Amino acid sequence: MELRQLRYFVAVVEEANFTRAAARLHLAQPGVSAQVRQLERELGQPLLDRSGGSVTLTDVGEAVLPYARAALAAVEGVRQTVDEFSGLLRGRVAIGLVPGATAHEFDVASVLADFHDDHPQVEIALAEDTSERMLASLRLGELDIAVIGLADEEPPPGVSLQIVIDEPLVAALAPDDSLIAHAGRGSIPLAALRDRPLISLPRGTGLRGVLDRACARAGFHPRVAFEAVSPQLLVELAARGLGVAVVPSLPADDASAAGLRTLEITDPQPRGRVALAWRTDGPGSPAAKALLRLLRTALSASGAFGGSPVGPDAGNGPS
């Protein structure tokens, strides 16, 4: 029995298909099939049922699978331990980002580039998604680190945070909008948006969660006419007069260049917060731990809201 046979077996089970497993392993399909057959011959029992449209486990395969995964995990643990002593990092780190995260003053792209220069054998996998889905992936271990928008004041259970951005939300609207004439000192109460078509990020994002909760406290349900995942697109739609975009605070020059006016929202005053997030017990691999340390250090050095930690043991960070 060889480790590669166990690796191929696990890949076929996870993909439920020999062809997809071979593509994932960057191997030819006949070779993967032959090695799994050899493993079954050595064990004297079929592990996979190939009779249906997809490959499924036999009863014996179901019993063997946890041991195969444990053996592969043990070997990876040996490699990681040796790598830590030799100062070499390798493996894969999965990072989730809210759309537009790399465009802010906290320059995630530069940090990732520096990390890649120092550790070229570490594969970095990036994904953009809603904050809600990324938090679920973080808890399941599918993501090691995420940059998410926060809908709630307190961090979710089992997750630690370091604040990246904390800004008041504003109403961005066309210069001839009637709300501007009735605004006092550059602000409007949230209730003034009760019957207005709003432009916002979709459900599942931190900013949308903040907006929905703030409107509920003000006694109404927001009338969202347009949704977009890109904050820049929200601004462009508002500039076309399609509604009032609820977005994080914009510098006056940027708003003017986009053909917009912004009004601070009050009573209540919702805030848009973005945070670096990780499981409280820390990422599992040395590579992910090292990248998280680098991100947290860069965040603190950038002065982006001071890099404030939130949640259990957030100040301690991964070891």
Residues recorded for the chain: 319
pLDDT score of 306 more than 50: no
Number of domains in the chain: 3
Q: Which domain CATH number covers 35?
A: 1.10.10.10
Does residue 17 sit in the same domain as residue 58? yes
Q: Is it the case that residue 249 has pLDDT exceeding 90?
A: no
22 lies in a domain?
A: yes
State mean pLDDT over 55-60: 93
Boundary of a domain, candidates 59, 86, 113:
86
The CB-side HSE value for 18 (13 A sphere, CA atoms) comes to 16
Q: Cα 111–116–119 angle (5° rounding)?
A: 125
Answer whether residue 263 is part of any domain.
yes
**Do 195 and 236 fall within a single domain?**
yes
Q: What percent of the chain is modeled with pLDDT above 70? A: 90
Tokens of residue 39, six digits: 């493993």
Contact (Cβ atoms closer than 8 angstroms) between residue 57 and residue 89: no
pLDDT, greater one: 188 or 312? 188
- Average pLDDT, integer, range 246-272: 87
SS3 270: coil
Q: Can you give the CATH number for the domain in which 208 is found?
A: 3.40.190.10
Q: Which amino acid is at 206?
A: G
Does the predicted TM-score (pTM) go above 0.75? no
Residue with tokens 């079929």, as numbered in its chain: 46
Read off the pLDDT of residues 199-209 as tens digits, 9 standing for 90 and up.
999 999 999 99
Question: Once rounded to an integer, what is the mean pLDDT over residues 240-266?
Answer: 88
Same structural domain for residues 24 and 81? Answer: yes
Position 124 in a domain:
yes
Residue 212 banded pLDDT, cuts 50, 70, 90? very high
Burial class (CB in 10 A: 0-12, 13-18, 19+), 30: exposed
The residue ranking higher by pLDDT, 98 or 220, is: 220
pLDDT band at residue 285 under the 50/70/90 scheme:
confident
In the predicted model, what is the mean pLDDT of the chain?
86
User: Contact, 150 vs 275, CB < 8 A?
Assistant: yes
Same domain, 279 and 199: no
pLDDT digits (tens, 9 = 90+) for 74-132: 888 787 777 666 565 778 899 999 876 655 556 788 889 999 998 888 899 999 888 99
Domain range enclosing 39? 3-86
Q: What's the burial of 319, exposed, middle or buried (CB within 10 Å: 0-12/13-18/19+)?
A: exposed
Residue 304 lies in a domain: yes
User: Would you say residue 316 lies in a domain?
Assistant: no
The answer to whether residues 152 and 186 belong to one domain is no
Q: Which of 31, 60, 86 lies at the terminal end of a domain, its last residue?
A: 86
- Identify which has the larger pLDDT, 303 or 289: 289
Q: Minimal CA–CA distance to 121: which of 95, 91, 142? A: 91
Distances (CA, A) of 22 to 58, 142, 162, 311: 20, 21, 39, 42
Contact by Cβ (8 Å): 131, 204: yes
